[in-house]
Amino acid sequence: MKLPTMPFTITDWSKVAVTEHPGETGMALWRTFTAGDLRVRMVEYTPGYLADHWCDRGHVLFVLSGELVSELKDGRRFTLTAGMSYQVSDFGDAAHRSFTQTGATLFIVD
C-alpha cells in the first residue's frame, strides 16, 4: 500500500456520515474517509451480519470490539476478537468474506 500525497489529516469519526451496506444477512454501517486510492473506514457489523460477496481487495483490518469470523474462499476460517487484526493483499488466492454472530466494530484501511 502506498499512501497518496496529502496533508496531515485528522478524522473525527463521530462526524462522518454513515452509509448502509446490506449483507446477505445483517447490515454493515460504514463511516469512510477517502484520499485518492486510499480508503479508511470505521465499520460496524450488526449481529448476524454475513457479507454478500467474496472480496479480493487487500485490507488491513483491526477489530475494535466484538467478534468477527473471516472465511477464506478455500474454506479456512479465522476468528478475530477485539485487539486482533489481519492483513491481506490484493493479489493471491485469499478471497475472503466476513460474518459475525454478535456484531463487531472494525477499523479498515484499504
Domain count, the chain: 1
25-72 pLDDT, tens digit per residue, is: 999 999 999 998 899 999 999 999 999 999 988 899 999 999 999 999
CA distance 83 to 79: 12
* Structural domain includes residue 13: no
In which domain, by residue range, is 58 found?
19-109
Give the whole-number percent of the chain exceeding pLDDT 90: 82
CATH of residue 25: 2.60.120.10
Query: What is the reported pTM?
Result: 0.91
Residue 52 lies in a domain: yes
Joined grid coordinates for residue 35: 484520499
In a domain? residue 5 = no
Contacts from 13-16 at CB under 8 Å and sequence distance 24+? 13/42, 16/42
Residue 45 counted as domain residue: yes
| 100 within domain boundaries | yes
